Amino acid sequence: MKNKIIPPGYLYSKGYTNYVFVLLFLLYMFDYIDRMVVTSMFVHIEEAFNITHTQSGLLVSAVYWSIVLLTFPVSILVDRWNRTKTIGIMAVIWSIATALCALTGNFVQLVMTRALIGIGEAGYAPGGSAVISGLYPENKRSKMMGLWNASIPLGTAIGVLLGGIIATRLGWKHAFGMVALPGLIVAILFFFVKDYKTVSLSFKDKNNVVTKMKSKDKFGQFISRPSLILTYFGFAAVVFVTTSLITWLSTYFHVTRDLPVEKAGSMASVVMVLAIVGAPLGGIITDRWRLSNLRARLLFPALTSLLSALFLMIALWLTSGTLQYVFFLLMGVSVTAFVPAAAAVTQDVIHAGMRAMSYAVAVVIQNLLGASTAPLAIGRLYDLYDIKTAMNLLPFMLILGAILFYTGSRFYVKDLEKTERINLEAE
């Protein structure tokens, strides 16, 4: 049958491959809805539990700390056991944990259930990246990563929007319960998805003899690739900014413009949802540019991070009112355009049997230095000074990210040449 034809570079038919991709997209979207629904409810939770802005930031950081602790161990399970079943189990855990947030009676209980969400989400990004890298041809990798990562701003925007609306109309606890169920349904469907065969952790030595990897060989895969290490830290710098915006932009609009919480949340969600344009567009541009310049997958993140810094500087320092919001919107398009290209690098220059582990290292570093640190750092600066002063730190972090990506681009081609080419097999 026509839909059973397997095109070159694919493991399964295009129809089945795209079906798996849709499920991956939906799961990532619900991942971020469950993760970020809390941010537009800070005002309500602060009133209910009498907590500070810093403690509100902890409700986001708790998720990322769990991810930091568990993502690497879970990624080993993903690479060595079964990607699709591991993803299904994780999605069930985080969906149930989100629902449990509705049953909490104090701040400590809420922090603990938020941490449980992070336990479930710990290996999803590495697992999903490995599945996409295996199912699609290499020349489509940035594009598909871009489309997949568009689910992050979409989920974030939906979470922020729903959190504000439901909390205002029904109470903040109802929001957790209402967003948990759809993700649970998709999680169950994923248990029936086909995987590709686990790749043997072996390599060809100098004598062209296939040799099983030892611990030092696995470690050497990472430390011998400067482009990979610099990509990890570039990721962290930009993720510090995006997480700060996800967490505090609605509060920024609420305080600086004296807007109702629901309106401020809506404005913030529009800014972040524009990454739905930026992430796929970034992937498409990178794949096309890479046809003429292999360094494109790191040069493009350097350029977009620098452009985002410029837009954010103008928005925070030089403009107000409608013009300020226009520059926030421009930044919303550009700030996540780096993700598909940088994510593809974590898969390009590593052994095919270690792709989930490679992205797990990226997750650990970006969450430890970026996502888990940002809500607390901005919250602390807000407590000490004001929200405008706190947000002024962000353009400098984007400039740092641009420098790291550009430096990594100078090593990328050599690192790519070191990486052994392995053909994957369908399950």
CATH of the domain at 154: 1.20.1250.20
pLDDT at position 2 is 46
State the average pLDDT for the chain: 87
- Residue at 1 is within a domain: no
Question: With bands split at pLDDT 50, 70 and 90, how would you rate the model's confidence at 52?
Answer: confident
- Residue at 2 is within a domain: no
In this structure, what token pair is assigned to residue 97?
A: 């944990």
Question: With bands split at pLDDT 50, 70 and 90, how would you rate the model's confidence at 382?
Answer: very high
pLDDT at position 150 is 85
- Residue at 424 is within a domain: no
In this structure, what token pair is assigned to residue 253?
A: 């609009």
Q: Decide if 182 contacts 29 (C-beta within 8 A).
A: no
- Residue at 426 is within a domain: no
Average pLDDT, integer, range 312-333: 95
Question: With bands split at pLDDT 50, 70 and 90, how would you rate the model's confidence at 421?
Answer: confident
> Which pLDDT tens digit goes with each residue over 68-82?
888 888 887 777 777
Name the amino acid, one letter, at 227.
S
- Residue at 4 is within a domain: no
pLDDT at position 396 is 97
Average pLDDT, integer, range 326-349: 93
Q: Which residues pair with 211 in a beta bridge?
A: 203
Which single residue is written with the structure tokens 């796929």? 280
Task: Look up the pTM and report it.
Answer: 0.78
> Which pLDDT tens digit goes with each residue over 363-381?
889 878 998 789 889 989 9
* 182-186: Cβ within 8 A, 24+ apart: 182/30, 183/26, 183/27, 183/30, 183/31, 183/33, 183/34, 183/91, 183/94, 183/95, 183/98, 184/91, 184/92, 184/95, 184/96, 186/23, 186/26, 186/27, 186/30, 186/91
Highest mean pLDDT of the ranges 64-78, 148-162, 266-280, 384-398: 384-398
pLDDT at position 199 is 67
Higher pLDDT, 288 or 68: 288
- Residue at 134 is within a domain: yes
Q: Is the dihedral of CA 193, 196, 197, 199 positive or negative?
A: negative
Higher pLDDT, 175 or 408: 408
pLDDT at position 200 is 67
Q: What percent of the chain has pLDDT over 70?
A: 94
pLDDT at position 1 is 39
Structural domain of 149:
9-193+205-418
pLDDT at position 201 is 66
> Which pLDDT tens digit goes with each residue over 109-122?
999 999 999 888 88
Average pLDDT, integer, range 1-17: 74
Name the amino acid, one letter, at 231.
T
Q: Rounded to whole angstroms, how far apart are CA atoms 261 and 243?
A: 19
Q: For the chain, how many structural domains are there in total? A: 1
> Which pLDDT tens digit goes with each residue over 100-112?
998 888 999 999 9
25 pLDDT more than 60 = yes
> Which pLDDT tens digit goes with each residue over 198-236?
666 666 656 666 667 677 777 777 888 999 999 999 999
